[in-house]
Amino acid sequence: MAQELIVSSYQAGVQQVNTGALMLGAGLALASMILLPAAAMRLGLDASLTGALRIALMKASNRATAPR
């Protein structure tokens, strides 16, 4: 009985995908992997600052797509 409730609540959660959150998360991930390193190289930022900014963007991406 309890396992049936878990499965049904999981299926209901899967059906309610927030497309806006996924687009935001994908955009932040793209920015952290491609756009930020290119801009940092162009501006002459050092690797530690670029890494810190990439980590911040990836955390924001993860937070945007996390279920609530």
pLDDT at 54: 92
pLDDT recorded at residue 47 = 92
Token pair for 36: 């930020």
Q: Which of 65, 68, 66, 53 is nearest to 27 (CA)?
A: 65
The answer for residues whose C-beta is within 8 angstroms of residue 25's C-beta and 6 or more apart is 61, 62, 64, 65
Q: Is residue 50 a contact partner of residue 37, using CB atoms and an 8 Å limit?
A: yes
Question: Which among 17, 30, 27 has a CA at the least distance from the CA of 68?
Answer: 17
Write out pLDDT tens, residues 5-59.
555 665 555 556 678 888 888 888 898 899 999 999 999 999 999 999 999 988 9
pTM score: 0.65
1 has pLDDT over 60: no
Amino acid at the residue 56: A
